[in-house]
Amino acid sequence: MKFDRSVKIAPSILSADFANFGAEIQAVEAQGADWIHVDVMDGHFVPNITFGPATCAAIRPHIKTVMDVHLMIAPVDPYIQAFADAGADVITAHVEAGPHIHRTLQAIRATGAKAGLALNPGTPAEAAAPLLDLVDLICVMTVNPGFGGQKFIHSCVQKVTELREMIGDREVHIEIDGGVDPSTAPLVAAAGADVLVAGSAVFKGGSVENPAPYGENIRAIRASV
Ligand code: DX5
Ligand code: ZN
């Protein structure tokens, strides 16, 4: 994974057909997805359950680009190796998920995966300050995690500006997750974000049988920034 700050669109398979992940991933990559965002939820850290490392391992061979695994689970540490073994390129943990985020980030990097740090909407940018040299990506949640299709929280844009300033010339991606569409993408891209996760805004209107809308939706987000 070579670092660059160009805008990357990362469709979230949370909005895909759960019975057809392999074909959905191939379709969305063929339609221009840069990364594939994989939302792991445990029904404890967030009020929803998706899937775990076995599903990640099963979908890995279908992903040609970057497998970006967003862990919305607590605790995180006992499962890091399993997600790394499943083939995750990026493993992101929440600062709110436990008392030892520093250790968690070290453990992620020790597997060889890139380490991501996610901040909920209620968590300030300063929470990332002591961790900047331990992370490869900061995920700014622009909805409260747990569900796709929620409304973008505009007060989070200022946090992106602050983080961009704090990061300086470190090779750290800023990822935006939640409510990204052609109306909100330009706000966060202008503030310094480079990875734009989008679930409902990418998958709406399309299917494996009719994937062209995926491409139109991706191009609409790209064109907006
Ligand atoms: C929310 C997830 C997101 C979600 C985004 O907890 O982390 O990745 O899929 O969905 P949209 O783009 O529909 O807000
Ligand atoms: Zn996510």
Q: Give percent above pLDDT 70 in the chain.
A: 100
Residue with tokens 């520093």: 102
Please give the Cα distance from 175 to 159 (Å, whole number).
12
Of the listed ligands, the closest to the CA of 116 is 2
| pLDDT in the model for residue 203 | 98
Q: Whose CA is nearest to atom 6 of ligand 1?
A: 145
Q: What average pLDDT score do residues 94-107 get?
A: 98
Please give the Cα distance from 49 to 165 (Å, whole number).
35
Tens of pLDDT, residue by residue over 6-20, are 999 999 999 999 999
Q: Under DSSP, is residue 212 helix (H, G, I), strand (E, B) or coil?
A: helix
pTM over 0.85: yes
Q: Ligand 1 — pocket residues by CB below 6 A?
A: 12, 14-15, 37, 39, 70, 143, 145-146, 148-150, 177-180, 197-201
Please give the Cα distance from 44 to 36 (Å, whole number).
24
Whether residue 1 has pLDDT greater than 90? no
Which of 73, 137, 200, 214 has the most ligand 1 atoms within 8 A of CB, as the residue to mutate?
Answer: 200
Atom of ligand 1 nearest to the CA of 198: 12
Q: CA 116, 139, 191 angle in degrees (round to 5)?
A: 130
| pLDDT in the model for residue 132 | 98
Tens of pLDDT, residue by residue over 159-209, are 999 999 999 999 999 999 999 999 999 999 999 999 999 999 999 999 999
Tens of pLDDT, residue by residue over 30-86, are 999 999 999 999 999 999 999 999 999 999 999 999 999 999 999 999 999 999 999
Report CA(133)–ligand 2 centroid distance (Å). Answer: 22
The third-level CATH classification (topology) of the domain covering 8-224 is TIM Barrel (3.20.20)
| pLDDT in the model for residue 165 | 98
- The active-site residue out of 34, 39, 42, 194 is 39
Give catalytic status of residue 177 as yes or no.
yes
